[in-house]
Amino acid sequence: MKKTLVAALTVATVAGSLVTATPPAKANDGVGAGIAAGLIGGAIVGGAIASSRPAYGGPVYVAEPPPPAPCYWQRQRYWDGYGWVVRPVRVCY
């Protein structure tokens, strides 16, 4: 993927330099060509970056979870600042 990205950047750089290397006939023509070359180069580079796979870290050791503890659900009241609210809470021992 890095070779593809480098190739895309090279093509965009060469295309941009060719567009800006020609002397413009009018001052306004050069600005439009520069903007167009920037948009095209940005689209090429952005497409190459967007199509690349994300880089994740290497394999990570994950410990096995412990055996499940005996648990049950219990309804508990608590004050939330406006009034008493009842909610289910998981209680494990």
CB atoms within 10 A of CB 65: 6
The per-residue pLDDT of the chain, averaged, comes to 78
SS3 category, 78: strand
C-alpha–C-alpha distance, residues 47 and 39, integer Å = 12
Say if residue 25's pLDDT is above 60: no
How far is CA 21 from its chain centroid?
A: 35
Q: Which residue has the higher pLDDT, 79 or 26?
A: 79
pTM recorded for the entire structure: 0.30
The torsion angle over the Cα atoms of residues 40, 42, 17 and 53, rounded to 10 degrees, is: -110
pLDDT tens digits, one per residue of 37-78: 888 988 898 888 888 777 777 778 888 888 888 889 999 999
Place of tokens 């903007």: 35
